[in-house]
């Protein structure tokens, strides 16, 4: 049985996922149950949530339920907070430790982040350095891990050219910084809004930013790479219209990286990449929760989280938080994300 040193409530505020639907799948409640210390799994911890970052997958999964989550459940993957109880086999965390990472929404204990207290799997969390804020730490979840998962499958050195469409997005703005931190020779990106382009140039020191609303992306990338194309292209936009262009920008023998289940065998994207004698690389965090690579999750996720924290401490990684909101405002924030009005970088929910 887990030990605890403070009084933990039995009810809490939460945004609950109550139905599989693309319209209004969530409901606000002030009486969601709080998992008690005696109910924790052996390798679980109970977290008092301080900050949570939002991701498009939070609402996209509500329309598909690809993990067969039992409803009602609380949505949200990314969290930073303080441990208030630990399971009996948890050795590396103690009550009072500040931690961050990602949660397992398929847990029988109903993990999700968008509530005051969440259950976390110890293997998907690490301790938060004291000089990193909870808000910044919370952003190193799905978007950052997706960015690093794609880029750690390819070689990047001082001779490498990288093109990242959508550098103003949650995944994209991390990917451009990871490529820089790993010493890429040239990092090219694209955006369509003036403020996003300005941030990419000024805050992230990117010289080659293409305005994809005005410029011919394929022509510009080929021009910037002396007609060769980029060694690595990471398209995290989820847009087929972007895929049609970005697959034409990868160098012969290079790598085209995409999120999730896009560009499967025999898809037009896979065929386009193959025509350029390049390879498709998939960045997909789901395989660590649900697939054959579950056994590798602890090492891969914890190592990536630690690397992200180190880069922040070294000044090589700067999460861009465009808005900090309250838990009660999350549904409105999701609507903005759906409509493409979420802004540059990340939206963070601040609880404490």
Q: Decide: 64 and 22 in contact? Cβ < 8 Å.
A: no
Does residue 118 share a domain with residue 52? yes
Is 296 contained in some domain?
yes
| CA 4 to each of CA 86, 88, 90: distance values in angstroms, whole numbers, following the listed order | 8, 11, 13
Report the CATH number at residue 77: 3.90.180.10
pLDDT in tens, 36-57: 999 999 999 999 999 999 999 8
End position of a domain, from candidates 251, 284, 317: 284
Q: Residue written as tokens 């990868």?
A: 250
Give the integer Cα–Cα distance in Å for 313 and 14. 32
Does residue 344 share a domain with residue 215? no
Provide the residue range defining the domain that includes 321.
11-139+289-350
State the pLDDT at residue 217.
97
Is 72 contained in some domain?
yes
| Residues 6 or more apart in contact with residue 325 via CB below 8 angstroms | 333, 347, 348, 349, 350
- When divided into structural domains, the chain yields a total of 2
State the pLDDT at residue 312.
98
**What own/partner pairs with CB < 8 Å and gap ≥ 24 does 258-264 have?**
258/150, 258/234, 258/282, 258/283, 259/146, 259/150, 259/171, 259/283, 259/284, 260/284, 260/286, 262/238
Does residue 253 share a domain with residue 155? yes
Q: What angle do CA 209, 212, 217 make, to 5 degrees?
A: 85
End position of a domain, from candidates 284, 319, 334: 284
Report the CATH number at residue 156: 3.40.50.720
Is 4 contained in some domain?
no
Does residue 271 share a domain with residue 151? yes
Does residue 191 share a domain with residue 232? yes
Does residue 344 share a domain with residue 258? no
Is 319 contained in some domain?
yes
Does residue 176 share a domain with residue 101? no
Is 6 contained in some domain?
no
State the pLDDT at residue 108.
63
pLDDT in tens, 239-284: 999 999 999 999 999 999 999 888 888 899 999 999 999 999 999 8
Model pTM?
0.94
State which residues of the chain have pLDDT below 70: 1-6, 107-110
State the pLDDT at residue 5.
57
Is 1 contained in some domain?
no
Does residue 158 share a domain with residue 133? no
State the pLDDT at residue 110.
63
End position of a domain, from candidates 284, 299, 324: 284
């Amino acid at each position: 049985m887990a030990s605890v040193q403070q009084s933990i409530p039995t009810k809490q505020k939460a945004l609950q996922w109550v139905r599989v639907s693309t319209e209004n799948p969530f409901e606000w409640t002030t009486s969601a149950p709080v998992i008690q210390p005696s109910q924790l799994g052996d390798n679980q911890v109970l977290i008092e949530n301080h900050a949570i970052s939002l991701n498009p997958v939070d609402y996209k999964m509500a329309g598909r339920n690809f993990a067969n989550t039992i409803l009602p459940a609380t949505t949200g993957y990314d969290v930073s907070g303080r441990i208030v109880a630990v399971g009996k086999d948890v050795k590396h965390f103690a009550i009072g430790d500040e931690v961050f990472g990602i949660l397992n929404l398929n847990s029988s204990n109903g993990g999700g982040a968008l509530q005051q207290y969440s259950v976390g799997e110890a293997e998907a969390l690490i301790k938060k350095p004291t000089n990193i804020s909870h808000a910044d730490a919370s952003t190193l979840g799905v978007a950052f891990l997706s960015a690093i998962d794609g880029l750690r499958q390819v070689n990047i050195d001082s001779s490498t050219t990288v093109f990242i469409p959508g550098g103003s997005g949650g995944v994209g703005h991390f990917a451009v910084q990871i490529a820089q931190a790993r010493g890429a020779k040239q990092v090219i990106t694209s955006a369509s809004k003036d403020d996003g382009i300005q941030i990419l140039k000024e805050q992230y020191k990117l010289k080659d930013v293409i305005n994809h609303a005005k410029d011919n992306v394929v022509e510009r990338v080929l021009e910037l790479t002396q007609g060769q194309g980029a060694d690595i292209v990471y398209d995290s936009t989820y847009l087929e219209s972007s895929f049609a262009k970005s697959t034409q920008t990868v160098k012969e023998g290079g790598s085209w990286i995409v999120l999730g289940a896009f560009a499967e065998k025999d898809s037009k994207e896979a065929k386009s990449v193959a025509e350029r004698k390049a390879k498709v690389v998939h960045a997909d965090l789901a395989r660590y929760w649900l697939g054959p690579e579950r056994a590798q999750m602890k090492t891969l996720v914890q190592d990536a989280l630690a690397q992200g924290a180190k880069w922040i401490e070294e000044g090589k990684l700067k999460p861009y938080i465009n808005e900090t909101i309250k838990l009660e405002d999350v549904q409105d924030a999701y609507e903005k994300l759906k409509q493409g009005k979420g802004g540059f970088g990340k939206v963070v929910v601040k609880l404490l």
